[in-house]
Amino acid sequence: MYNSPAPTGKRWTVPLPASNTNAGFGAVPPERTPSAPFTVSSTTVSSTAAISASATLASTGASQTAAPKPDLKPGNPRFSSGPCAKHPGWNLQNLATDNLGRSHRAAQPKARLLSAIERCKELMQLPEDWVLGIVPGSDTGAFEMAMWSLLGSRAVDVLVWESFSADWAKDLQDLGVEPLNVLDAPYGELPDLQQINPDNDLVMVANGTTSGVRLPDFNFIDENRSGLTLCDATSAVFAQTLDYSRLDVVTWSWQKVLGGEAAHGMLALSPRAVARLEEPAPRALPKIFRLAENGKLNSGVFKGATINTPSMLAVEDLHSALDWAEKLGGSDALIERSESNFRVIDDWVSNSTWVDWLAKDSATLSRTSMCLQISAPVFTRLESSEQAAVLKSLLKKLEDQQVAYDIANYRSAPTGFRIWGGATIESADLERLTQWLDWAFHDWQNQHSANVTGETS
């Protein structure tokens, strides 16, 4: 039985089983008002005058605010949460072309695929006894493949706190996996992690790309569990540390933190996950999902013999991203770039009078998909359809100025901004973006106040 779909369009797009859902399911978190007194952040010094003037006016309740139009634009206005910005220095001309137009099963192209796997394995710091393969269908393909291939022989706990995790729960329900325990929380929060059972299989995302809430660590998962942990880490890998001792399946795609191309997914399996794959399959699987045959792992997939034809151009693009990531210093350096990006936005939010995090608990704040809501009363007082229209106008203004592309909330998430902070983003660009956001919001606020005053006078 399904819950009826929520009416506001701000809740999960996918209805979930009526059982095991808590009372707060799908609710939009309550508004938060900015708490910090106004102070100027060292990382936003260049915008001090603008922020200071506007903040002072706003905090006194004045209807007019000032935020001069910034002089400098971000060097790269691409802040999408996927496909994400290409790495600094990326250039199409730099991609190797000698494997294009050749069979991916010929020795040289296949070696290129294997090398991509080995380099990724190294960059992920994946344990030696895990396997990593390139599979079709981007992260979705990798994660569906894992769920279809592995789940069904025991109960499954699934953590749901934003759209993608809700999609996985819906698919498990459609697959007829029973018992299925949906542990859910509204946008901005995490479910009760104490409710998971180590004897059940566990399905979760590491970072909720559509709510900006991540799992801060994996300590809630028993190292001695008998169930498997399937972790969709597509917007977490290379942006936070993954504790592989508590995970069995990790999926991601090149299009996220590495700024690669979509279409292919990466599937990492622990020895326990491989052992499960070699048990009788829980259901018939289409060829595109088949990771084992006659009770044996299809080991070729993990050595570059892909199930079907890959894009060798996308593979070359990945190699370019790997060159960049390795030169930077590997996974730790990538994570540090994300942390630095996060600090820029976090400082700005702490000093802002009009914007706040969607996440309720600062310990869970995502370093990649940074989701914000407009908290100024002049905005929150509006009807939700009016709020959506205002947001749209702000986004258009920023896009027209070529300072920010694709920073709207995910289509079924609460109205607000979602700004990518993965490693391919430059902190300096985020600093400039915050100045433009201040400008756009205060410009709207001034016009809105003038309209309201005009209407009432």
Ligand X SMILES: Cc1ncc(COP(=O)(O)O)c(C=O)c1O
Residue ranges in contact with ligand X by CB under 6 A: 81-82, 138-140, 164, 205, 209, 232, 234-235, 253, 255, 262
CB of 318 to ligand X, least distance (A): 13
CB of 279 to ligand X, least distance (A): 26
Tokens of 128: 């030696």
Cβ-based nearer residue to ligand X, 139 or 443: 139
Question: E-assigned strands of 215-262?
Answer: 229-232, 249-253
Cβ-based nearer residue to ligand X, 239 or 277: 239
CB of 376 to ligand X, least distance (A): 28
CB of 406 to ligand X, least distance (A): 12
Cβ-based nearer residue to ligand X, 234 or 435: 234
Write the CA distances from 418 to 186, 263, 372, 409, 430, integer angstroms: 17, 23, 6, 5, 12
Question: E-assigned strands of 102-155?
Answer: 131-136
CB of 232 to ligand X, least distance (A): 5
Q: How far apart, in whole angstroms, are the C-alpha atoms of residue 247 and residue 362? A: 24
User: How many Cβ atoms from other residues are within 10 Å of residue 222's Cβ?
Assistant: 15
CB of 371 to ligand X, least distance (A): 12
**SS3 of 383, please?**
coil
Cβ-based nearer residue to ligand X, 123 or 166: 166
Half-sphere exposure of 101 (CA within 13 A, CB side): 3
List of residues 6+ apart from 185 with CB closer than 8 A: 22, 24, 25, 160, 161, 191, 192
Cβ-based nearer residue to ligand X, 165 or 173: 165
Cβ-based nearer residue to ligand X, 139 or 317: 139
Over the range 401-424, which residues count as b (16 or more CB within 10 Å of their CB) and which as e? eebbbbbbbbebbbbbbbbbbbbb
